[in-house]
Amino acid sequence: MRHRTCLTLLGVLTAATALAQTEPQKSPPLATVTPPPNVQTAGKIPAEKSPPPPTSPVAQTQGEITTPAPEDKNPPPPFDTANMDTSVKPSDDFFLYANGGWIKRTPIPPEYSRWGSFNQLIEKNNDALHDVAERAAGETTATNPDAKKVGDYYASGMDEAKVEVAHARPLADELKRIDGVKDRNDVLKEIAHLHTLGVTSLFGFTSGQDDKNSTMVIAQAYQGGLGMPDRDYYTKTDDASKKLRDQYVQHVTKMLTLLGEEPKAAGEHAKKILALETSLAQASRTKVELRDPQKNYNKMKASALQALTPDFKWDTYFKETNLPNSGELNVGQPDFFKGANKVFTSTPIDDWKEYFRWHLVHATAGELSADFVNENFSFYETTLRGTKQIKPRWKRVVASTDSSIGEALGKLYVADYFPPESKARMLDLVNNLRSALADRIKTLEWMDDATKEAALKKLAAFTVKIGYPDKWRDYSGLQIDRGPFVLNAIRASIFDVHRDLNKIGKPVDRLEWGMTPPTVNAYYNPKLNEIVFPAGILQPPFFNPKADDAINYGGIGAVIGHEMTHGFDDQGRQFDEVGNLRDWWTPESAAKFKERSGAVVKQYSEYEPLPGLHVNGELTQGENIADIGGVKIAYAALQKALAGKPQEKIDGFTPQQRFFLGFAQIWRSVQRDEDLKLMVNTNPHSPARYRVNGPLSDLVEFQKAFNLPDSCPMVRPADKKVNIW
Ligand SMILES: [Zn+2]
């Protein structure tokens, strides 16, 4: 199951306040949800699960592409000039100049919809996790409780014969409950029950930091209930969207058939499920609307929520979810709840039962027998992303383990695979970047002194988390055994939901992490005003202890700068130094920021990754602001680090040039068209090529380093250059 949500990298999560990540990974094990637009944490979002589901970004090891050789006897150079395409001029397309050689000779592995630096490192980490999990599973007498849980969980997933024989039988109790639904009150109770399992149903409900009182956790109710990646998939009227909806109906039909329904009846039910979800989609806000934290903050008493949904009895809901006193709660999208009330009352009871069956089997498909797994893969991976081949079982089971008990697995992983000296070196880099950003804020031409002072205060207050949590999650109350795989996943999800809801009304725990340690990603969380770098990303090509400064500042330095800049992007700037949603800007400086961020929206809206498909400049503006600021700040920090040192060329390139080559290298990737389309429609990150060419064409430092003319594709005209941070 994918009960966790994650804020995927660099942004999968789009929601107003979700974590701003670095990489648009398809959330690996962590789910990708319609995040509660106001929910702070990257944690998980219990009651809502991932539309683009099982997508562990794990790849196959084949040929030159992957070769994650556990011990590299001949590690590649920090920047390999063989990856360049010098037939392309750096002034025309720097992304291709730096990466074109690699792109030309690299096929997309059949298990992947996108393949690049991030995925290669994920594969390397997968091998490490594989080793950790296999060892844990082999020690049947383990005394370390984390190793025991990891070993049992992994072993239950790897017992393919048992999983096949069981088919959907482990779900029998849940399916029986659904069969027993007789009236609307039962429907309400089943919605609540499925939420306690972490299964999508009607709307989302979880706990999260109060945006305007950052010390406290409150309940959060938000839009949800869909099976496709976004509301737009239900509402768009073009031919491709209509075709996709037909394919979705076919998929739902097949899943219901696998549960034992007659194909004809299942087909009728699937159409009704689409109709129900379409009504919810029509009441839902767009991803761009979800980016506005003020609009998605609507704190109210439970009685006010009750008034929005007169027919949905919240007392019953709270009783079923064991929340007798929810206190004041944030209702992210009040209009959605008005719409949901109508759907709740107008949908026939039998249609609800089909909807529940569908979402139950959808949530658990990855841990069921091969017929479920393959059908799920066929729609969510092949149809939606173009992926050709499913990953081997062990990779899927490792991803499930990471999703369910990620800090137990992560604890074992860092003990064996994370060198403690990496932490000290990273802290150094972060401090250098922080001081470069402070220098920059002090000299900003467009910001007044009062706002500068507040911005510097916020920057100084950043919390920095590196590697893994200081305090690990306690799984002692969770039962994991070598019985049915899917029941382990369900119990882990229940455990997570319970843990989440249990936080309501309590102080915020600022030590929590929103990503597991092996994750190849990073994030900024505006509600905790923190930047977080899991152990997984602190390796080449991002962070390379053997590389020169230029490569490290262009790699992990730009990632650090990116996360820091998120504190000052269109969303992050609305939160103060302790994470409260509070306006600390003078009206003059705010107006100037908006003028400049408007130019970012315009710049990126021009980009057209596929014919007729433009980047959504509004949706991606926060990430683009962070990309532009991140590389600029990292470059300034490198200049400081190089001061007074000999600046030798390597492979014929100056340190300044190597910085930009190293930066371009981290975004090296090849991607299937389907995946690109899904990304542009739903992901707040721009496609890789524009994450390189966009920021660099704004940067005079880049123009200077490569001695480019004023007029060329990689140098925007002076009056169109964007310069914020
Ligand atoms: Zn980001």
Helix/strand/coil (H, E, C) string of 514-539?
CCCCCCCCCEEECCCCEEEEEHHHCC
How many angstroms does the Cα of residue 273 sit away from the middle of ligand 1? 35
Per-residue burial over 631-668, b if 16 or more Cβ lie within 10 Å, else e, is bbbbbbbbeebbeeeeeeebeebebbbbbbbbbbbbbb
Question: Helix, strand, or coil here: 316?
Answer: helix
**pLDDT at site 612:** 95
Q: 467 near 533, Cβ under 8 Å? A: yes
**pLDDT at site 58:** 30
Could you give phi then psi for residue 385, rounded to 5 degrees? -125, -10
**pLDDT at site 450:** 98
How many angstroms does the Cα of residue 12 sit away from the middle of ligand 1? 9
How many angstroms does the Cα of residue 509 sit away from the middle of ligand 1? 23
Long-range contacts of 319-327 (CB under 8 A, 24+ apart): 320/188, 320/189, 320/192, 320/193, 320/196, 321/192, 321/195, 321/196, 321/205, 321/501, 322/196, 322/501, 323/219, 323/501, 323/504, 325/505, 326/219, 326/302, 326/504, 327/218, 327/219, 327/302, 327/504, 327/505
**pLDDT at site 74:** 77
How many angstroms does the Cα of residue 566 sit away from the middle of ligand 1? 6
- Distance from C-alpha of 228 to C-alpha of 242, rounded to nearest angstrom: 13
Question: Helix, strand, or coil here: 135?
Answer: helix
Overall average pLDDT of the 562-585 stretch:
97
How many angstroms does the Cα of residue 296 sit away from the middle of ligand 1? 20
Q: Where are the alpha helices (DSSP H) in 378-448?
A: 384-385, 393-417, 421-442
How many angstroms does the Cα of residue 9 sit away from the middle of ligand 1? 7
Using the structure block, give the residue that is written with the tokens 């089997």.
361
Model confidence at 395, pLDDT cuts 50, 70, 90, reads: very high
Q: What is the pLDDT of residues 185-240, one digit of tens each?
A: 999 999 999 999 999 999 999 999 999 999 999 999 999 999 999 999 999 999 99
Q: What is the pLDDT of residues 614-658, one digit of tens each?
A: 999 999 999 999 999 999 999 999 999 999 998 999 999 999 999
| CA–centroid distance for 143 within its chain | 34
Of all residues in the chain, what percent carry a pLDDT higher than 90? 87
Radius of gyration of the chain (CA): 25
Closest C-alpha among 288, 522, 507 to residue 296: 288
From residue 203, give the alpha-carbon distance in Å to each of 222, 283, 714: 6, 11, 45
**pLDDT at site 142:** 72
145 contact partners, CB below 8 Å, separation of at least 6: 475, 476
Task: Output the six-digit token pair for 116.
Answer: 């690049």
Overall average pLDDT of the 28-33 stretch:
28
pLDDT above 80 for 391: yes
* DSSP symbols for 41-55: -SSB-TT---SS---
Please state, as a whole number, how many other Cβ atoms lie within 10 Å of the Cβ of residue 445.
6
How many angstroms does the Cα of residue 132 sit away from the middle of ligand 1? 30
Report the range of poorest mean pLDDT among 253-262, 404-413, 537-546, 683-692: 537-546
How many angstroms does the Cα of residue 522 sit away from the middle of ligand 1? 8
Question: Taking the model in full, what pTM does it have?
Answer: 0.90
Closest C-alpha among 189, 193, 232, 95 to residue 688: 95
How many angstroms does the Cα of residue 713 sit away from the middle of ligand 1? 25
Beta bridge partners of 344: none
Could you give phi then psi for residue 322, rounded to 5 degrees? 65, 40
Model confidence at 609, pLDDT cuts 50, 70, 90, reads: very high
How many angstroms does the Cα of residue 714 sit away from the middle of ligand 1? 23
Question: Helix, strand, or coil here: 299?
Answer: strand
**Dihedral through CA 661, CA 664, CA 668, CA 672, nearest 10?**
-140
How many angstroms does the Cα of residue 667 sit away from the middle of ligand 1? 13
Q: What is the pLDDT of residues 434-468, one digit of tens each?
A: 999 999 999 999 999 999 999 999 999 999 999 99
**pLDDT at site 53:** 28
Model confidence at 303, pLDDT cuts 50, 70, 90, reads: very high
Could you give phi then psi for residue 477, rounded to 5 degrees? -85, 5
Q: What is the pLDDT of residues 48-63, one digit of tens each?
A: 333 332 233 333 333 3
How many angstroms does the Cα of residue 627 sit away from the middle of ligand 1? 7
Overall average pLDDT of the 284-312 stretch:
97
From residue 714, give the alpha-carbon distance in Å to each of 212, 597, 699, 706, 725: 42, 20, 9, 11, 20
How many angstroms does the Cα of residue 374 sit away from the middle of ligand 1? 32
**pLDDT at site 140:** 77
Show which residues are catalytic. 563, 627
How many angstroms does the Cα of residue 623 sit away from the middle of ligand 1? 5
Q: What is the pLDDT of residues 123-178, one digit of tens each?
A: 999 999 999 999 999 987 878 999 999 999 999 999 999 999 999 999 999 999 99
How many angstroms does the Cα of residue 153 sit away from the middle of ligand 1? 32
Q: 527 near 211, Cβ under 8 Å? A: yes
Of all residues in the chain, what percent carry a pLDDT higher than 70? 90
Could you give phi then psi for residue 507, rounded to 5 degrees? -65, 150
CA atoms within 13 Å, Cβ hemisphere of 522: 32
How many angstroms does the Cα of residue 217 sit away from the middle of ligand 1? 24
Q: 316 near 188, Cβ under 8 Å? A: yes
516 contact partners, CB below 8 Å, separation of at least 6: 29, 30, 402, 406, 407, 409, 410, 534
**pLDDT at site 627:** 97
Q: Kind and range of the H or E element at 669?
A: strand 669-671
pLDDT above 60 for 16: no
Task: Output the six-digit token pair for 126.
Answer: 């997968």
How many angstroms does the Cα of residue 685 sit away from the middle of ligand 1? 7
Closest C-alpha among 597, 540, 708, 572 to residue 16: 572
Look at the chain and count its residues: 725
- Distance from C-alpha of 249 to C-alpha of 474, rounded to nearest angstrom: 41
pLDDT above 90 for 358: yes
How many angstroms does the Cα of residue 622 sit away from the middle of ligand 1? 7
Closest C-alpha among 371, 405, 411, 396 to residue 488: 405
Please state, as a whole number, how many other Cβ atoms lie within 10 Å of the Cβ of residue 491.
18
